[in-house]
Amino acid sequence: MHFYYQSTLLEILIELGVSESQLLAKAVSRSRPLSKAASVTTADLAAQMDSMCSAALELTHDRQLGLKLGSRIDIASQGIFGYALLSSSTIGDALKLLVRYNRAILPSIRIELIPNAGSFEISVRAPQLPYELERFYCEILYAAIIKSGSILVGKQLIRFKLELDYDAPYDSASYHRVFGSSVHFNCERRVLSFDTPSIRTAISTANPVAQEIFRRECDRLLPFENTGGSVSERVQQVLLKSGSGFPNSSAVAKKLNISESTLQRRLSKEGCRFQQLLDQVRSRLASEYLITTTLPVSEVAYLLGFSDAANFRRSFKRWTNTTPSALRQEGMRLSASALQTSFV
C-alpha cells in the first residue's frame, strides 16, 4: 500500500519541477543494499521509501512536503485497505485499522492509538529516522487522517486537536487549510487527539458484512509485509511475482534453492500447506482485480489460472464467503459514496 504513497509523492514532485530521473538518482545515491533474503522484506521496503522521501526533501527544500502529500491521499485509491476504511462502522474502528496495518502503509513509522481521559490520541514515532524525515512522515499521516475523516463522515462534526512540537512556519496558511484552527505549534509533544464522541461517530458508508471481507483480505496482506523470513512468506512472494502462470510447489522450491520435500516439511512446521498459500495469493489478486478494474469476471478467472469462470466463482465463494459480482458491486458503491462525499 505504501507504493501508492510513493507514486502520489512523485506526482507532487513533478508539479514542483523535480523529474522522476532526478528523484531516482538522488534516492539511489542514498539507498543501502537490499538484503540477501529470497524475498524483499519490510525492512528493505522501508529503507527504499526512506531514501526516496529523503531525496524528495533534499531536492525540494520544502518542509511542508509531507503536509502536501497527506492532503493528496485518496481513500479509494488505497485498494483493499481503502475499502476496509470506507466500510468501517465508526471513526474509532477506522483508526484501529490504521494501527493494525501500520507496517503496510508507512513501514518506517510506528502508529499508536492511546485512550486518555475523554479523548483518544494518535501518536506517530520514528526515533530511528532523521528529524526532518520523521516530521515529514508525521505530517503525511495526520493530514491524511483528517482528509479521510471528512470523507468518511460527511457533514458530521469531528472535534480534534493537533499539537506539534515545532515552531509555526513563516507561512502557516497551508496548515490551517488542512487542520483549521485546531493546529497548535510550539507544544511539548506531537500528537493528534479526538474527543470520545468524535471517535464514536458513525461512518456514512459503513457495511459490517463488506467490512469483514475487506478486513480479512487486508489480513492476507500482512505476511507479504512482514519482516520475518519464514518459508511461507517467501513462497507467497514467489507466487505474487509469477503473474498468472503460478508455479507448482516443485518450481517454487527450486526458486528457493531447496528440495520440494524440504519445502513441504518446512511449510508443515509453520502450520500451512502450499495449496493454502496459493489460494491466499489468488484470493488477494482476485479481490484487487474485481475492485480496481472493470475486467469481466471471465478475464479475472483467466488471469488467475482458472479454466472457466464457473470454477473461479466457486473458488472465490469458498475463499471469501461472497461472490465476485457482490464484491465488485460493494466496491463500486463505496467508491461512489466516497466520491460524492468528497464534493459535498
Q: Using 50, 70 and 90 to split pLDDT, how confident is the model at 327?
A: confident
2-199 classified as CATH 2.20.220: no
Is the Cβ–Cβ distance between 283 and 305 less than 8 Å?
no
| CATH 1.10.10.60 correct for 231-335 | yes
- pLDDT tens profile 233-280: 788 878 877 765 788 999 999 988 899 999 999 998 888 899 988 988
State how far Cα 77 lies from the chain centre.
10
| Cα 99 from Cα 95, distance rounded (Å) | 6
> What residue spans define the domains of the chain?
2-199, 231-335
Task: Map grid coordinates 490504521 to a residue.
Answer: 98
Q: What gap in Å lies between CA 303 and CA 24, rounded to an integer?
A: 32
Bridge partners for 122 per DSSP: 113, 192
Distance CA 211, CA 201 (A): 17
Strands 183-184 and 160-163, bridge-based pairing? parallel
Three cell numbers written together for 117: 481521559
Mean pLDDT (whole number) for 184-205 = 93
Q: What pLDDT, in 10s, does the model give residues 131-183?
A: 999 999 999 999 999 998 888 887 788 899 999 999 998 889 999 999 999 99
Q: What pTM did the predictor assign?
A: 0.71
pLDDT at 225: 47
> How far apart, in whole angstroms, are the C-alpha atoms of residue 94 and residue 318?
27
For the chain, state the CA radius of gyration. Answer: 21
**Residue 343: per-residue pLDDT:** 43
Higher pLDDT, 187 or 36: 187
Convert 18-28 to b/e letters by CB count within 10 Å (16 or more is b): beeeebeebbe
Instruction: Please tell me which residue, 282 or 37, carries the higher pLDDT value.
Output: 282
Q: Which residues neighbour 117 within 8 Å (Cβ) at sequence distance 6 or greater?
A: none
Mean pLDDT of the region 289-309? 85
Amino acid at 281: V
DSSP class of residue 163? Answer: E
The answer to whether residues 104 and 85 touch, using CB atoms and an 8 Å cutoff, is no
Q: Assess whether pLDDT exceeds 70 at residue 60.
A: yes
